[in-house]
């Protein structure tokens, strides 16, 4: 394991102890980079890839995985009294963490979720595209991206409602889809 990546993951997890939402989308993305992106890169390297060859794809994949996971977990995070949506976006739409903690969807919150979803979707699609140029042996480390992109598609389809119970992971169809992608050697 690479020490720098492990240290970054530990430092990134310090944000989990904060009671306030991330300041802005850049802070949220930095959290995603330090947590899931570092883990994804480490997994790629364990599977034999050279850091230089997977840095872009693993960073983008991990970022999309983290952001989609945070969006999917909005309801459960609220139940814990936590909001992981960017404070500047909340403020821009005349919201604050207390409004989100109420667990009520509205057009202003939809705008915030749409912004984060758009960013996650962009880096996720970039990672999927870049993954096609990577050795097939690295694909297992990137397979969680399939879940993330599916979660983002669900968010789009439900009108960016982060409180929709349909976002909860369930059933075998998700796993079968990822199994199929693993068989094909694609993310």
pLDDT in tens, 4-28: 888 888 888 888 888 899 999 999 9
* 131 within 8 A of 56, measured Cβ to Cβ: no
DSSP annotation of 23: S
Percentage of the chain modeled with pLDDT above 90: 65
CA separation for the pair 2, 20 (Å, rounded): 30
pLDDT of residue 159: 97
Percentage of the chain modeled with pLDDT above 70: 97
Query: Can you give the pTM of this predicted structure?
Result: 0.90
Give the confidence band of 169 by pLDDT, cuts at 50, 70, 90: low
CA separation for the pair 4, 38 (Å, rounded): 9
DSSP annotation of 7: H
b (16+ CB within 10 A) / e for 102-125? eeebeeebbebbebbbebbbebbe
* 180 within 8 A of 174, measured Cβ to Cβ: no
Select the more confidently predicted residue: 76 or 170.
76
Positive/negative CA dihedral, 40, 1, 25, 67: positive
If one looks up domain 3-184 in CATH, what number appears?
Answer: 1.10.600.10
For the chain, give every domain's residue range: 3-184
Instruction: Concatenate the DSSP letters of all residues of 33-101 into one string.
Output: IIIIIHHHHHHHHHTT--HHHHHHHHHHHHHHHHHHHHHHTHHHHHHTT---S-HHHHHHTT--HHHHH
């Amino acid at each position: 394991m690479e020490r720098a990546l492990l240290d970054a993951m530990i430092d990134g997890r310090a944000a989990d102890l904060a009671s306030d939402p991330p300041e802005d989308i850049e802070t949220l993305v930095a959290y995603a980079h330090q947590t899931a992106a570092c883990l994804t890169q480490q997994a790629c390297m364990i599977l034999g890839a050279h850091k230089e060859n997977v840095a872009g794809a693993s960073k983008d994949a991990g970022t999309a995985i983290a952001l989609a996971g945070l969006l999917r977990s909005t309801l459960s995070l609220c139940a814990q009294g936590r909001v992981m949506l960017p404070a500047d976006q909340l403020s821009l739409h005349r919201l604050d963490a207390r409004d989100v903690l109420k667990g009520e969807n509205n057009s202003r919150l939809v705008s915030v979720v749409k912004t984060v979803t758009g960013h996650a979707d962009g880096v996720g699609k970039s990672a999927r595209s870049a993954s096609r140029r990577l050795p097939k042996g690295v694909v297992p480390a990137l397979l969680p991206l399939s879940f993330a992109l599916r979660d983002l598609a669900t968010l789009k389809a439900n009108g960016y409602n982060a409180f929709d119970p349909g976002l909860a992971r369930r059933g075998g169809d998700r796993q079968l889809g990822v199994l199929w992608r693993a068989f094909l050697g694609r993310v």
